[in-house]
Amino acid sequence: MPQTNTYIDFADGPPATPRARATLDADRYTSRAFMAREWDGMWTRSWLLAGLECDLREPGDYFVFDIGRESIIVTRTEEGALSAVYNACQHRGNRIMTNERGSVPAIACPYHGWTYELDGKLRSVPDSERFIQGLPCESLSLKPVLVESWGGLVWINMDLEAGPLSEFLGVVQEQLAPFRFEDMVLVSDQTVCLDANWKTCIDNFNEQYHVDFIHPQHASFVDCCNAGNELWPYGHRRVLVEGYVTNPRYGTPEEVPPILQAAIRPLGLDPADFRGRVPDIRKAVQQRKREVGKALGFDYSGFTDDQVSDVLQYDLFPNVIMTIKPEELWVMRPRPHPTDPDKCFFDKWTLRIDVPADKARGLSLVGDPKMAPAETQARPERDVFTQEDVIAGTHSMTITIDQDIHLLRDMQAGMHSRGFGRAWLNEDEARVQHFHDWLDIWLDGSALARRSAGAKAAE
Ligand code: FES
Ligand SMILES: [Fe+2]
């Protein structure tokens, strides 16, 4: 069975089916003019994943979300609410916060000492009597943006007219509720600076056509060639990939491949028992994980069998890629460079369930129990590196993503060639097409895009 593509409408909202196919010409990825259209038509109007709620536990905690030329400060206020404001002082415009995150009693500009409350309200101004024109608090407070939280993830929207996040995400919140991301613990925080447009990165994660070629190891533990793709309104997508199976394109092996062996041993399954019956492993894992979960203290009862064994990937418009298993979540996010369409910042957060391994019995739900930390570690610092670091082998985002990273610079370079005009996609690249179709809807400023920006009241 080949891959399937299904358009699914939300109960309330515009239809998922695009009205026109976007043409993926090279300019889309390389030109400053297109980059400017994206900024005005999409980045400043769409809900955007800004950061993690675990960084905002106490009043005064903050993080800074840099996106393109813009910078947003997100805080936990004294009242316990979330607040998000532009990172631009109302005195003369200085970018106030230059740390990535931390905790402060107030938002204080280092230049001339203007100080704002945690929600951005102007609190104090040195030598205030010297402002003979007055200091109207209302107009001199930090300018707000919308902020909402879901599943331990904090989202902002620069369009103050935008509708709620729940309308934008539709069925996604409900579908992912059993995974309880908010209970997971951050174990790794990485950013790689790439010589590629942010959409070159998105495209890479939105098709499995390349898997056989640059990720040959996948054939021995997931079935990427028979995946089911779902295409939703507002440009969201998802794909479901069966795990703990081998790729049927290559025939069924007699022996359990080494990667699958390593995956099932921590569950207390013996690879020797599956010699000659490799296709039985997926069902055995579905059952065994529930048993090991009971022993170690993790409840799988809210998950379907498929969710227990398989890999889900949700691609949330515009730039969030979530690879989801009950035990582990990867949140990936390519952010555009402030000025250069040939560069982006690719973030990856890894979150895991907080369930200790049983080293004595060799049991673990998150890989090799010998590698499991003795106890929950402190929040990891963000590790920032370059594509060269990945190629040199000094930094890694996992073997699979490293393989992707190797290619992205060459993709971007090739699109600049006089010998390349536009992409020519196949049906297994439907998620790529859907993402670009919806990006066009945003950029065209059509009624659908206005609605997806939430400006229903204005219609
Ligand atoms: S620019 Fe911030 S206090 Fe002057
Ligand atoms: Fe890949």
Residue 386 CA to ligand 2 centre (angstroms): 18
Q: Is the CB of 91 under 6 A from ligand 1?
A: yes
Specify if 183 maps to a domain: yes
Q: Whose CA is nearest to atom 3 of ligand 1?
A: 112
Ligand 1 pocket test, pick from 87, 94, 135 with the greatest ligand atom count within 8 Å of Cβ, gives 94
Residue 373 has pLDDT above 80, yes or no: no
Q: Is the CB of 219 under 6 A from ligand 1?
A: no
Residue 326 has pLDDT above 60, yes or no: yes
Residue 117 CA to ligand 1 centre (angstroms): 15
> Does residue 434 contact residue 214 with C-beta atoms inside 8 Å?
no
Q: Is the CB of 114 under 6 A from ligand 1?
A: yes
Ligand 1 pocket test, pick from 86, 87, 89 with the greatest ligand atom count within 8 Å of Cβ, gives 89
Specify if 452 maps to a domain: no
- Per-residue pLDDT averaged across 1-8, rounded? 86
CA atoms within 13 A on the CB side of 452: 33
pLDDT the model gives residue 350: 97
For residue range 27-64, list pLDDT tens digits in order: 999 999 999 999 999 999 999 999 999 999 999 999 99
For residue range 291-311, list pLDDT tens digits in order: 999 999 999 999 999 999 999
Q: Is the CB of 110 under 6 A from ligand 1?
A: no
Q: Is the CB of 111 under 6 A from ligand 1?
A: yes
CA distance 332 to 337: 16
Q: Is the CB of 89 under 6 A from ligand 1?
A: yes
Ligand 1 pocket test, pick from 90, 96, 111, 123 with the greatest ligand atom count within 8 Å of Cβ, gives 111
Specify if 329 maps to a domain: yes
For residue range 195-254, list pLDDT tens digits in order: 999 999 999 999 999 999 999 888 888 888 888 999 999 999 999 999 999 988 888 999
Q: Which residue bears the tokens 């929950």?
A: 376
Of 112, 131, 158, the residue at which a domain comes to its end is 158
Residue 204 CA to ligand 2 centre (angstroms): 6
Q: Is the CB of 90 under 6 A from ligand 1?
A: no
Averaged pLDDT score across all residues of the chain: 93
Nearest to 160 by CA among 454, 443, 452, 442: 454
For residue range 75-132, list pLDDT tens digits in order: 999 999 999 999 999 999 999 999 999 999 999 999 999 999 999 999 999 999 999 9
Looking up residue 151, the CATH number of its domain turns out to be 2.102.10.10
Q: In angstroms, how far is the first alpha carbon of the chain from the final one?
A: 44
Of the candidate ranges 161-165, 176-180, 217-221, the one whose mean pLDDT is the lowest: 217-221
Of 100, 129, 158, the residue at which a domain comes to its end is 158
Specify if 281 maps to a domain: yes
Task: Tell me the ligand closest to 400's alpha carbon.
Answer: 2
Nearest to 237 by CA among 441, 431, 438: 431
Specify if 364 maps to a domain: yes
CA distance 354 to 54: 14
> In this prediction, what percent of the chain has a pLDDT beyond 90?
84
Exposure of 367 by Cβ count < 10 A (0-12 exposed, 13-18 middle, 19+ buried)? middle
Where does the pLDDT of residue 456 fall: very low under 50, low under 70, confident under 90, or very high at 90 and above?
very low
Specify if 436 maps to a domain: no
Q: Is the CB of 112 under 6 A from ligand 1?
A: yes
Specify if 377 maps to a domain: yes
Q: Is the CB of 103 under 6 A from ligand 1?
A: no
Query: Does 214 share its domain with 71?
Result: no
pLDDT the model gives residue 457: 38
* Residues spanned by the domain of 230: 173-427
Nearest to 157 by CA among 232, 234, 92, 98: 234
Of 123, 158, 193, the residue at which a domain comes to its end is 158
* Between residues 251 and 337, the one the model is more confident about: 337
Residue 454 has pLDDT above 70, yes or no: no
- Per-residue pLDDT averaged across 13-25, rounded? 85
Q: Is the CB of 42 under 6 A from ligand 1?
A: no
Q: Whose CA is nearest to atom 4 of ligand 1?
A: 112
